[in-house]
């Protein structure tokens, strides 16, 4: 285990060095400008055509899912433990200022996710089962040309492995930690059986996942369409209660966020070693972990949407980042910072911090139980979607859908294994793989940005919304 930690530490320092952070933010800024600030200028139009159609239900054609099911599937992956444990970790490692960089990554990430989804629809294909398949590997191959297929293969290798990290190990580990903590609060003697309880949670989760995965993309879409809205609404309402109870501290908290973004030592003290780089890495890194803008994963789900308009589906990419980062991540951060619970910067526990924040208002038992249930739903939906991402990457590498069951069996085995390993290592491995996935994806996004600009211009021009 020590060897794995050492290797991951070295790779992580490369994957999340200044070049990657500059590439992420730089790409978002570049696309924002080149697309004419589409996520801001047409925000109302985008919300009308995404959030405004949430309750519009329609059936999808063969081999595809309805547009809202596609975005629910993608949101099932993005709205996960990163929204609770991940952003808490950002505050611990980067101080309150990390929240500012989280917002920055979300605001410019809207343009990045919009472009990714648009390209996924533009360059998708039908597989041998008649299902729509797409994502970075396909817009690399069909957009940049077959001479670039090797880059698509690199993305798929990283994606297939990342599914075990961000989509499995970190999710089940967070779920187990929260659930065992809640169980031990209600039944103190359960602490002696921690390992057995963790293993049982892992086995039960794998069994339920298997039932859904057997149904393929359509069953995943239906499950996501049900789970995501319900779990999001309940979580938002409870987090808002924590914020409203502590509304008097909103001023000092906002000051700590904006000042701490550039001078983190002003609020956490220099002794814990939190620097500007740590604040940026905490915010941008956890932002990517949560909203996945620039990572190239969500376009794989969106590619299955039953629509002929890439721009309209791209709008769901904007909505996705806005809802995930600007709404859910923000209220988690505010709930934690405004609750007044003690934060051990640099060394604190990612999973205990949100439990403490909710417990400060709802009490230890309800607070721990609520966070455990929220994490259980968030983690389950994320694992569900990331298993699809991993399968699609694996199918691209093997050139066939015949071996997808093999990958799914391995994924389920990793779920069980992940229930027994430390949370910190799971998150560290996930973060490393996330950073590596960004590089091949953004090379393609930047290379095909002209296509996105043309399609965007044509769409808004035909709808009478072209900039005057």
Q: How far apart are CA 32 and CA 458, in angstroms?
A: 17
Q: Is the pLDDT of residue 468 over 60?
A: no
Summarised one tens digit per residue, pLDDT across range 229-248 is: 777 888 889 899 999 999 99
Q: What share of the chain is helix, strand, coil (3-state, %, to 5)?
A: 80, 0, 20
Looking at per-residue pLDDT, the higher value among 229 and 359 belongs to: 359
Q: How far apart are the first and last CA of the chain?
A: 59
DSSP 8-state class, residue 296: S
How many residues can be counted in the chain? 468
* Inside any domain, residue 343: yes
pLDDT value of position 34: 96
The tokens for 429 are: 């491995």
Q: How far apart are CA 52 and CA 396, in angstroms?
A: 35
Q: How far apart are CA 30 and CA 171, in angstroms?
A: 32
* Inside any domain, residue 152: yes
DSSP 8-state class, residue 215: T
Per the structure, the complete domain to which residue 450 belongs is given by: 2-462
Number of H helices, E strands in the chain: 23, 2
Q: How far apart are CA 372 and CA 360, in angstroms?
A: 15
Summarised one tens digit per residue, pLDDT across range 360-393 is: 898 878 877 887 788 788 888 888 888 889 999 9
Q: How far apart are CA 75 and CA 448, in angstroms?
A: 24
Enclosing H/E stretch for 226 = helix 216-245
Summarised one tens digit per residue, pLDDT across range 27-85 is: 999 999 999 999 999 999 999 888 776 656 555 555 456 666 666 666 666 666 667 77
Q: How far apart are CA 58 and CA 65, in angstroms?
A: 10
Q: DSSP string covering 452-463, please?
A: HHHHHHHHHHHT
124 phi and psi, to 5 degrees?
-75, 170
* Inside any domain, residue 468: no
pLDDT value of position 273: 61
CA atoms within 13 A on the CB side of 141: 17
Determine contact, residues 178/352, Cβ cutoff 8 Å.
Answer: no
* Inside any domain, residue 122: yes
- pTM summary value: 0.86
pLDDT value of position 467: 46
Out of 142-151, 270-279, 455-464, least confident range:
270-279
* Inside any domain, residue 340: yes
Enclosing H/E stretch for 29 = helix 18-34
* Inside any domain, residue 76: yes
Out of 15-19, 107-111, 134-138, 361-365, least confident range:
15-19
CATH number of the domain bearing residue 376: 1.20.1740.10
Number of domains in the chain: 1
Rounded to 5°, angle at Cα 242 from 239 and 247 = 120
* Inside any domain, residue 467: no
Q: How far apart are CA 332 and CA 269, in angstroms?
A: 23
Beta partners for residue 125, in sequence order: 133
């Amino acid at each position: 285990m020590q060897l794995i930690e050492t290797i991951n530490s070295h790779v992580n320092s490369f994957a999340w060095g200044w070049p990657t952070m500059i590439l992420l933010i730089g790409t978002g800024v570049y696309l924002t400008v080149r697309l004419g600030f589409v996520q801001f200028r047409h925000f109302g139009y985008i919300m009308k055509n995404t959030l405004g159609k949430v309750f519009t239900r329609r059936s999808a054609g063969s081999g595809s899912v309805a547009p809202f099911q596609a975005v629910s599937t993608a949101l099932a992956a993005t709205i996960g433990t990163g929204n609770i444990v991940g952003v808490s970790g950002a505050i611990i490692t980067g101080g309150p200022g990390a929240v500012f960089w989280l917002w920055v990554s979300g605001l410019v990430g809207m343009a990045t996710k919009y472009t990714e989804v648009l390209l996924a629809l533009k360059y998708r294909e039908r597989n041998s089962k008649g299902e729509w398949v797409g994502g970075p590997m396909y817009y690399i191959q069909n957009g940049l040309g077959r001479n670039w297929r090797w880059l698509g293969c690199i993305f798929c290798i990283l994606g297939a492995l990342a599914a075990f990290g961000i989509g499995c190990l970190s999710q089940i580990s967070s779920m187990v930690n929260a659930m065992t903590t809640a169980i031990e609060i209600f039944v103190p003697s359960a602490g002696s059986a921690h390992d057995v309880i963790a293993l049982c949670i892992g086995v039960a989760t794998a069994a339920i996942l298997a039932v859904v995965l057997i149904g393929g993309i359509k069953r995943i879409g239906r499950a996501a369409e049900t789970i995501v809205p319900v779990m999001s609404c309940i979580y938002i309402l409870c987090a808002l209660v924590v914020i409203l109870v502590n509304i008097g501290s909103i001023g000092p908290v906002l000051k700590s966020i904006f000042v701490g973004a550039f001078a983190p030592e002003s609020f956490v003290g220099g002794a814990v070693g939190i620097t500007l780089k740590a604040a940026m890495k905490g915010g941008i890194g956890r932002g990517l972990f949560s909203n996945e803008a620039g990572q190239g994963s969500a376009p794989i789900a969106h590619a299955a949407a039953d629509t002929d308009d890439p721009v309209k589906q791209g709008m769901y990419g904007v909505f996705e980042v806005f809802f995930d980062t600007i709404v859910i991540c923000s209220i988690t951060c505010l709930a934690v910072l405004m609750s007044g619970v003690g934060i051990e910067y640099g060394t604190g526990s990612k999973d205990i911090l949100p439990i403490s924040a909710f417990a400060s208002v709802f009490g230890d038992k309800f607070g721990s139980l609520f966070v455990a249930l929220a994490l259980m739903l968030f983690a389950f939906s994320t694992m569900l979607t990331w298993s699809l991402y991993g399968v699609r990457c694996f199918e691209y590498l093997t050139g066939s859908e015949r071996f997808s069951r093999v990958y799914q069996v391995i994924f389920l085995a990793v779920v069980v294994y992940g229930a027994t390993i430390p949370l910190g290592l799971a998150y560290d491995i996930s973060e490393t793989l996330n950073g590596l996935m960004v590089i091949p994806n953004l090379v393609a996004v930047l290379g095909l940005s002209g296509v996105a600009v043309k399609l965007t211009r044509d769409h808004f021009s035909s709808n009478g919304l072209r900039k005057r």
